[in-house]
Amino acid sequence: MKNIVYISLILLLFTACKPTSNIVTSKEVAVKKGLYTEPKNLAVSEVKSAEKKKKNQNKDLTQKQNTSKKTGGVNHKNDEDIVIESEDASYLIKQLINSASDNLGVNYRPGGTSKSGFDCSGLVYSTFKKFDITLPRSSHEMATVGTKVDLSDAKKGDLIFFINRGRRINHVGMVVEVSHDEVKFIHSSTQSGVIISSTKEPYYNRTFVQINRVLM
């Protein structure tokens, strides 16, 4: 009986002291945390079909890039913003997150847009491109697309921007989870490649700049 008690205490101590981390570096960990599920074979075709149906219903709801460069900031919602609404947007966002998360663990590569390596904007650009949404190629230009929202209003699928050197935006990721005052985002970091990080981490909390919503 005493042996059973000792073993139970040891197991309890081990699990209580097991370290946890906000950083997700692999698909296996993302699956366990509920951030990623294997994408269905027909996911892309289903999304395209939904988008086509939406376009037929309302020509004003199209996927267009905001090309206005009058200011360095983000414009308010207008006819040139990328707009996908309600049910279509919800389904599309799930597929975007799955598609990006499928690259967890891929190395960082300057100018990269494939599984051989991604830079930060390359990951976001290629992810959206899979679903026929063309964003600007650089993080600085991406920051001019869509509608700027407060960090407290962040939602899955939003773009999150940082300045880690210089004076202008030079890093971007995509929001994959929001809980209370924490935002988790997938991005390609120079040191770790494609990972999921958190705004709770001091570095990203310090370098955070803004969040843009491109899918309504």
Find all residues with CB under 8 Å of 24, minimum gap 6, and list them.
30, 33, 35, 104, 184, 195, 196
Of 17, 120, 140, 180, which residue is the catalytic one? 120
Q: How far apart are CA 187 and CA 47, in angstroms?
A: 23
| Cα–Cα distance, 97 to 35 (Å, whole number) | 8
Contact in structure between 94 and 102 (CB atoms under 8 Å): no
Does residue 120 have an active-site annotation?
yes
Q: Which tokens belong to 167?
A: 């004076």
Cα–Cα distance, 209 to 171 (Å, whole number): 10
**Residue in 17, 140, 180, 187 annotated catalytic:** 187
Known active-site residue 180:
no
Q: Which residues fall within 8 angstroms of residue 138, CB to CB, at 6 or more apart?
A: 121
Active-site pick, 17, 76, 140, 171: 171
Catalytic positions: 120, 171, 187
